[in-house]
Amino acid sequence: MTQRLNVPAVAPEGYRAVAGLAEYIKANVDRTLMHLIELRASIINGCSFCVDMHSRDALAAGEDARRLFAVGAWEDAPFFDERERAALALTDAATRLAPGGVPDDVWDLAAKHFTEKELADLLLTIGTINVWNRITVPTKTEPPATV
């Protein structure tokens, strides 16, 4: 597969703007939740570059490999607490926006576990990883051969 376009090279200001959102998220979102959200959305979107990067980042941060493997089937996996499940459900619903948007039951569950500020930060996390996925998938950006 050949990369179609090097977005940072041809649109550096736009790329830096998205990177700025990522920096905000790193400073404001619980790292465990951030890693789970980034990995889950990237799996849904079929972004091999981001699945590779975020799984490696999560492992380096001390996340359990078994939990990471289970993110693809989180609803049936016993490894996630209620707060993580609420974040993953919100990630699924906001990544796969259906007609009518995020269902009330998904939103209400998230609102039960997170403050308004935390919800806003979760939505920024979900939105930002979806932007990254929508840059890397169409451009066919591959994960590095070695790390």
pLDDT (tens digit per residue) in 77-106: 999 999 999 999 999 999 999 999 999 999
Token output for 56: 């490696």
> What is the secondary structure of 7-64 as a DSSP string?
HHHH-HHHHHHHHHHHHHHHHHS-HHHHHHHHHHHHHHTT-HHHHHHHHHHHHHTT--
Please tell me the pTM assigned to this model: 0.95
Name residues of the chain where pLDDT drops below 70. none
- CATH assignment at residue 116: 1.20.1290.10
The total of structural domains in the chain comes to: 1
Q: Is 7 part of any domain?
A: no
**Residue 143 maps to a domain:** no
Q: Tell me the residue range of the domain where 36 lies.
A: 12-136
With vertex at residue 136, the alpha carbon angle to CA 132 and CA 142, rounded to the nearest 5 degrees, is 130
